[in-house]
Amino acid sequence: MKRTKKERQQLLQETIGENPFVTDEDLAEQFGVSVQTIRLDRMELSIPELRERIKHVAKSRLTDEVRSLPIEEVIGDVIDIELDSSAISIFDVRKEHVFVRNGIARGHHLFAQANSLAVAVINDELALTERATIRFTRPVREGERVVAKAKVTEVNAKKERTKVEVKSYVEKELVFRGDFIMYRSNIRAEGEAE
């Protein structure tokens, strides 16, 4: 069904309002127009590009929550976090993140995304990685979006340690898995008295 420009722009505003993380490509497919048309519509409506929308939503929702490091120090864009429980971040792999000869992402970028998310999910002013067991399950290429999901799996108050599992996906395919043992300073003060 062909829509007028005004109808399309109204629906575009509503769609982005409901899901600020929708891509221009997905919008173009949904509305049956080109990506360029979506970009022009966004410009006319003063709607920023996806990356800026993610940063805005993350900063407004998460800045006061994360205690262990400034939100801008997390590698990737944190889109959701529940301290001492779970967190999600998005990392878009760009030219500067890949090997020139094959376009495959350098592993330290995927590790940094997962590690910084494991730190951010800890509800403590001091959270450090004590050790990590990691596994890359497939190469990630330039242009792909990596969604990392962190989950706190165990809290050991006596040893001041927290286990965090991070799984990273491209689309629905697992590309990285990390099990992090995190040191935290105030678990005893908040959890158990000696």
Q: 102 and 156 in one domain?
A: yes
46 in the Ramachandran plot: left (φ > 0), alpha (ψ -120 to 50) or beta? Answer: left
- What local confidence, expressed as pLDDT, does residue 65 receive? 62
Show the domain range for 18: 5-47
- What local confidence, expressed as pLDDT, does residue 61 receive? 53
Collapsed DSSP state (helix, strand, coil) of residue 35: helix
- What local confidence, expressed as pLDDT, does residue 71 receive? 63
Long-range contacts for 91-98 (Cβ within 8 Å, ≥24 apart)? 91/145, 91/146, 91/148, 92/51, 92/144, 92/145, 92/146, 93/140, 93/141, 93/142, 93/143, 93/144, 93/145, 93/146, 94/142, 94/143, 95/142, 97/142, 98/141, 98/142
Q: 81 and 42 in one domain?
A: no
Q: 164 and 91 in one domain?
A: yes
**Which portions of the chain are predicted below pLDDT 70?**
1, 51, 53-72, 186-194
Q: 175 and 91 in one domain?
A: yes
- What local confidence, expressed as pLDDT, does residue 18 receive? 79
Q: What is the CATH number of the domain that holds 37?
A: 1.10.10.10
Q: How many domains does the structure of the chain reveal?
A: 2
Q: 132 and 110 in one domain?
A: yes
Q: 76 and 112 in one domain?
A: yes
pTM here? Answer: 0.67
- What local confidence, expressed as pLDDT, does residue 102 receive? 96
